Amino acid sequence: MTDPHDLRVAVLGVGIMGADHVARLATTISGARVTVINDVVAERAESVAGTVPGSRVVADPFEAIAADDVDAVVLATPGPAHEKQVLACLAARKPVLCEKPLTTDPATALDIVRREAELDTTFIQVGFMRRFDHEYQRLRAMVADGTLGTPLLMHCVHRNASVPAHFDSAMVIKDSLVHEVDVTRFILDDEIVAVTIRRPAPNPAAPPGLQDPQLALFETASGKLVDAEVFVTTGVGYEVRTEVVGELGSTTIGAGKISADFRAHFAQAYDTEMQHWVGAVRGGASSGSYVDGPGAWDGYAAAAVCAAGVRSLETGERVAVDMVRRSSI
Ligand SMILES: NC(=O)c1ccc[n+]([C@@H]2O[C@H](COP(=O)([O-])OP(=O)(O)OC[C@H]3O[C@@H](n4cnc5c(N)ncnc54)[C@H](O)[C@@H]3O)[C@@H](O)[C@H]2O)c1
């Protein structure tokens, strides 16, 4: 039975992540239901809609956003499609949970930040779901409450068994390392001001031309150093771990946990993220925010750091992050 008070959600892009979000909304999340499904591949949209009674397929993404039976939007289309679709959500004043990345470059992400700031309400949440993972929350709390003393260093590891054929060396930064960028900002509550990417000898099993693995070094505004290994063709499984080293000791999360893929690894985080978003959207009209989690600014900051990372990958040099001050928005 459908509840007339349920949030009516359109999901755009029902590939790996979008289909997972549809299933989550249909089975796990309370207070919301999927009413509209959109994908450029019509059979994929039809097939996913077939699993959700009461949903319908809308072929055009912008019609899906504007539809009368849609209160809010989940965007799980590829990064290059996000800019126009997020702007359409803002134009329609519809809350949106946009999968990372917000957009694929800092200029368009900043434009979105500015457009949202002109409105009386915040509409955009970005899918940096690790912020909802209980272990990351525990690590952040240990840093914030001083359990580890002053945090000094952080070590991150991000490994995938494989990536799709279209994945290139810049996507290792913009699609994978971007999570470590957000985790750094979240755990240390600090901005990243410079990035260096080093190119180890590539994995012989990686597709020709793909620089994998990559080693990143982030420098934060307060002088902390964070290293991140990103290795996306291990052939083994999905593995993410993070260690914070502080004045009084160190703590590691994720050690020894190897999952089939990100969906299995971060299932709790995705569920919690979606439930928080649904709660924020349902309660938002009165609070002036339809967001409970990372927003457009976090998407912009991550895009700015990743742009510096791609530049460093190309030049081999340390690259300062070019980012406007938040107070200037
Ligand atoms: N938060 C996470 O952990 C996480 C994990 C994986 C992917 N993602 C993000 O989710 C998004 C989708 O990734 P994916 O792995 O599911 O990709 P995917 O290729 O499996 O799915 C994308 C889907 O979008 C459809 N599509 C493409 N262009 C479209 C458009 N303009 N309008 C409507 N549909 C369109 C494609 O046909 C496809 O079905 C990306 O932004 C990706 O970075 C996030």
Superfamily of domain 7-129+265-295: NAD(P)-binding Rossmann-like Domain (3.40.50.720)
Ligand 1: atom nearest CA of 128 is 1
Cα separation, 61 vs 73, whole angstroms: 10
Residue ranges of the chain that CATH labels 3.40.50.720: 7-129+265-295
Phi, psi of 37 (to 5 degrees): -125, 135
Q: Which of 36, 40, 97 to mutate to test the pocket of ligand 1 (most atoms within 8 A of CB)?
A: 40
Fold for domain 130-263+303-328?
Dihydrodipicolinate Reductase; domain 2 (3.30.360)
Q: Where do the CATH 3.30.360.10 domains begin and end in the chain? A: 130-263+303-328
pLDDT in tens, 52-101: 999 999 999 999 999 999 999 999 999 999 999 999 999 999 999 999 99
Confidence (pLDDT) at 4: 76
Reported as type and span, the H/E element at residue 231 is strand 225-231
Q: Is the CB of 38 under 6 A from ligand 1?
A: yes
The confidence score (pLDDT) of residue 76 equals: 98
- Give 128: exposed, middle or buried? Use CB within 10 Å, 0-12, 13-18, 19+: buried
Decide: helix, strand or coil at residue 280.
helix
pLDDT digits 0-9 by tens, 231-246 = 999 999 999 999 999 9
Going from the first residue of the chain to its last (329 residues), give the mean pLDDT of each consecutive group of 10, the final group possibly shorter. 85 98 98 98 98 97 98 97 98 98 96 97 98 98 97 98 94 96 98 98 95 98 98 97 98 94 95 98 89 98 98 98 95
